[in-house]
Structure 1
Amino acid sequence: MGPLTGRIRVPGDKSISHRSIMFGALAVGETRVTGLLEGEDVMATAAAMRAMGASIERSGDEWRICGVGVGGLLQPQAALDMGNSGTSTRLLMGLVATHAITATFTGDASLSKRPMGRVIDPLSLMGASFEASPGGTLPLMVRGATTAVPIEYRLPVASAQVKSAVLLAGLNTPGITRVIEPIATRDHSERMLRGFGAELEIEEVDGERIIFIRGEADLQPQVIEVPGDPSSAAFFIVAALVTEGSDLVIENVGLNPTRAGLVEVLRQMGGRIEEFDRREIGGEPVADLRVTYSRLTGIDVDPAIAPSMIDEFPVLFVAAALADGTTTTSGLEELRVKESDRLDVMASALRAAGADLDEEEDGLVIRGTGGVPLRGTANARVKTHLDHRIAMSMAIAGLASRDGVLIDDTAPIRTSFPNFEALLAEATS
């Protein structure tokens, strides 16, 4: 394939797509959404909200959601199949926890290994009860509280999903629920809840964020335009930076500061990434990005930036493998409990493609090729462990390799980026 050129537009932001469906389903009236990501994860959220009483239909380029109101969720008649979506599972557990209904959550083999105890703990304090599989995993059953209790909860790990689960449980809880964030994580829930009319306040005290939400909320329907997903754009940003001759414009990319860490790190490495037409859509900052081929230099990545790019580290590792010098990452224990153990899986995959690296307990140390293409994998297939981001990251590594990279299974890519392969072919044609 040749360099990446022209203009492309990546699918809608996954985090915002999930929340637009959930919050629309909790508003009274019709919420209309354009740019919704139609991947399997978001469709799992839509199916679950339909099962609990909301009407969700596609009409042309628009999705229309007729909600049931906070407190109005209905008892689902069958188990809620979350597929591969950790976001759907943890946020919906929060919603169910303070409604007087019972729901069973199931998922695929990958999701069924992921820990849910970090959500079960605070939601139990609010009055919900749980029956989980060994290790606090799926399948699990949630019995929502008949009368929920507001709590003050300090997040033990930096997790937007845990924070959001508690805030969503707080929507149908009398009084004020407080979440204390020692380390800021992506704030789409806070922005969108305010947009839907929830009473939500944020204070900064001694470097910590304290989020207050008043329960028994009355959410108002909205018209939402979903910006392009920065986590999806990340693959094309790195591909253009490492493929000689590339000059690519990626339109309509969400640049929420709690999500834009990868762009900052790649610029520190010498990547040329320019922003044009910066604007705000639905409370979210958006811009078009022009990315041109650059000689990257290895750096020590500040662990404090990890929460703002936690999903982008697999593709950053690819960029590091092609940079001049050594890139060191640390503070990434969270990557071991994603769709796969992303530190271990990426270390194995990149080694198979010819990269030189060491795997540490909390990160990777990668010695780059100085711009020389990776060897590739010839006839061996890289194991992706049902992880969409591993599959896409190694596809980008294949672009920058001599023999290409064979991937064992591209099907998981559909969970977040259904047209990834078609868009990559378009950009390199």
Structure 2
Amino acid sequence: MSAHGEPIPMTARRAGPLKGVAEVPGDKSISHRALILGALSVGETRITGLLEGQDVLDTGHAMRAFGAEVTHLGPGEWHVHGVGVGGFAEPEDVIDCGNSGTGVRLILGAMATSPVTATFTGDASLRKRPMGRVTDPLALFGAQAVGRSGGRLPMTIVGAADPVPVRYTVPVPSAQVKSAVLLAGLNARGETVVIEREATRDHTERMLTGFGADLRVGETEEGRVITLTGQPELVPQTIAVPRDPSSAAFPVCAALITEGSDVLVPGIGLNPTRAGLFTTLREMGADLTYENEREEGGEPVADLRARFSPDMKGIEVPPERAPSMIDEYPILAVVAAFAEGATTMRGVKELRVKESDRIAAMAAGLAACGAKVEEGEDWMIVEGQGPGGLPGGATCATHLDHRIAMSFLCGGFASKNPVTIDDASPISTSFPIFEALMEGLGAHLSRSNR
């Protein structure tokens, strides 16, 4: 049974071209950070375009639990009256972060250097995910963590009463770990330094600077070095959240593989630390263009136009590109099944510890649909069968993973036979309007429990 309620089996089938404008929701990564930094500033932060998926709503609930005033004024419009750096109150109850690994890890960092104690839990999927990668560096500040074996939720964090700044080299590329350490460093007197050997998404650095933090970024032989001066008074902001490139990936990729399609996806954030999928698709020969390129809220933005691309070829995706597209490998694997030749994805072991083991889930589902797939600990190869060549006709397990669910449904729009997923309910965590948006473009989706 789904941790989100009763399972919702859903079937996608070929129904003609996808056409129209796909207005996807706000960026999930930026939405989380806007709520958290709004809560850590002094005064009222105004947010428009906030993603109102369950993951982000759970972060909003958590900020309320720590004492911030979080007010919903209308669709995508929220105000956060913050308590300031070091001003978090102790929550009265357990904080449930639902399905969100980003939410819980960022919140752990934000509260770890305040003298409060909080207990965190989540759904069945989140309770399987490792938190040690965050709690280990937070312990260097003086925070204490007690959780289940393997560093898993439920977990209680005792915040450091007298935090000390740290110098920390992130062992694996992870924007969540980097961000948790930077957020913890806000309330540590002195300079906290984070070093990453491979650049990851930099929304936290951009937004901290926007809120008035003293933050410097430099390149050295060690890697990318981020230096944050602790105990600033963050200044509330007005934030317009750009639309989410990870959500845009689904209508874009569905259009590329579905015959006759022409879809415009406006206002998509193209931060270079997030746009690896679109670069990869264009290298494969996708008819994907950027229109009306501009900057909004310190982030590069463009309208994406995706057209059916029957001449896509399989490629070797550079492993160093993985941090900029780690959430998009599931949908890339589907696109690869409709290209000509093999698409090789290496350096992707992080996929093993996402909402599900995404390498195993995609390999199993694609194989059930008739694709040729090989997998290893940190790699996957999909042998493409050309436009319309995927047989389909299978029921794929989603493992409570929203991106696995949406990826297989997109494959069903272009495969020879319908594709069914066992549970579409996790989609609401990041893309609550996915079903209506895709149907508005002409896709055929059906629920077995309608």
The TM-score bracket by the shorter chain reads over 0.9
Q: Percent identity?
A: 58
Q: Which residue does the alignment assign to 1:239?
A: 254
* Alignment-derived partner of residue 177 in structure 2: 162
1:98 matched to 2:129? The reply is no
Within 1, Cα distance between the matches of 2:61 and 2:331? 30
Aligned amino acid, residue 312 of structure 1: E
How far 1:151 sits from its partner (Å)?
0.6
User: By how many angstroms is 1:272 displaced?
Assistant: 1.2
Q: How does 1:191-206 map to 2 (within 5 A)?
A: 191-206=206-221
Letter in 2 for 1:274: T
2:72 & 2:292 partners in 1: Cα distance?
29
Match of 1:261 in 2: 276
Distance in 2 (CA, whole Å) between partners of 1:398 and 1:202 is 44
Structure 2 counterpart of 1:315, from 318, 328, 331: 331
Alignment of 1:161-180 (within 5 A): 161-180=176-195
Distance across 2 between alignment mates of 1:360 and 1:244: 32
Alignment-derived partner of residue 332 in structure 1: 348
Q: Which amino acid aligns with 1:248?
A: V
Residue in 2 aligned with 1:78? 93
SS in structure 2 at match of 1:312: helix
Distance, in Å, in 2 between the alignment partners of 1:237 and 1:372 is 17
Deviation readout 1:213-234 (Å, 9 max, x if unpaired): 1111111111111001000000
Pick from 147, 150, 153: which aligns with 1:138?
153
Separation of aligned partners in 1, 2:374 and 2:165:
45
1:123 aligns with 138
Q: Is the 8 A contact 2:182 2:192 kept in 1?
A: yes
CA drift of 1:207 comes to 6.6
Give the residue type in structure 2 aligned to 1:337: V
**Alignment-derived partner of residue 82 in structure 2:** 67
Tell me by how many angstroms 1:65 deviates: 0.7
Displacement, 1:60?
A: 2.3
User: Which runs of structure 2 are paired with 1:188-227 in the superposition (5 Å)?
Assistant: 188-206=203-221, 208-227=223-242
Question: Contact 2:195–2:222 (CA<8 Å) still a contact in 1?
Answer: no
Q: Is the 8 A contact 2:18 2:441 kept in 1?
A: yes
- Aligned: 1:341 with 2:349: no
Larger relative contact order, structure 1 or 2 (CA cutoff 8 Å, min sep 6): 2
What is aligned with 2:366?
350
Task: Give the aligned CA root-mean-square deviation in angstroms.
Answer: 0.9
- Write the distance in 1 (CA, Å) between the matches of 2:51 and 2:194: 28
Which residue of structure 2 aligns with residue 49 of structure 1?
A: 63
Equivalence for 2:6: none
Report Cα offsets for 1:27-61 as digits up to 9, x if no partner.
Answer: 11111111000000000100000001011111124
Deviation at 1:366, TM superposition (A): 1.0
Q: Is the 8 A contact 2:42 2:83 kept in 1?
A: yes
1:92-139 CA deviation, whole Å, 9 max, x = no partner? 111111000000000111000000011011100110001010000000
Write the distance in 2 (CA, Å) between the matches of 1:2 and 1:21.
Answer: 40
Tell me what 1:397 maps to: 411
Cα distance between partner residues in 2 of 1:393 and 1:363: 18
Tell me the residue number matched to 2:427.
413
Output one character per residue of 1:290-316: Cα deviation in whole Å (capped at 9) or x when no partner: 111112100111101000000000000
Structure 2 residue matching 1:67: 3-state secondary structure: strand
What residue ranges of structure 1 are gaps of 5+ in the alignment?
A: none
1:154 aligned partner, one-letter code:
T
Aligned residues: 427
Alignment equivalent of 1:250, drawn from 259, 262, 265: 265
Name the amino acid aligned to 1:309: M
**2:314 aligned to 298, 305, 310, which one?**
298
User: Which stretches in structure 2 are left out of the alignment for 5+ residues?
Assistant: 1-14, 444-450
Aligned equivalents of 2:80, 2:165: Cα separation in 1: 28
Counterpart of 1:78, as a letter, is: D
Once structures 1 and 2 are overlaid, which stretch shifts more, 205-214 or 148-157? 205-214
- Secondary structure of the residue that 2:42 maps to in structure 1? coil
Amino acid at match of 1:91: L
d(CA) in 1 for partners of 2:416 and 2:291? Answer: 34
Q: Which amino acid aligns with 2:247?
A: S
Select 2:32's aligned residue among 11, 18, 26. Answer: 18
Residue 134 of structure 2 corresponds to residue 112 of structure 1:
no
Counterpart of 1:5, as a letter, is K
Please report how far the alpha carbon of residue 372 of structure 1 lies from its aligned counterpart in structure 2 after TM superposition: 3.0
Q: Helix, strand or coil for the counterpart of 1:329?
A: strand
CA deviation profile, 1:165-201 (whole Å, cap 9, x unmatched): 0000000110000000100000000000000101100
Looking at structure 2, the residues matched to 98 and 418 of structure 1 have their Cα atoms a distance apart, in angstroms, of: 34
User: Among residues 16, 26, 31, which one is paired with 1:2 in the alignment?
Assistant: 16
How big is the shift at 1:402? 1.5
Partner of 1:381: 395
Question: What is the TM-score with the length of structure 2 in the denominator?
Answer: 0.94
Cα distance in 2 for residues equivalent to 1:400 and 1:136: 41
Name the CA distance, whole Å, in 2 between partners of 1:198 and 1:165.
15
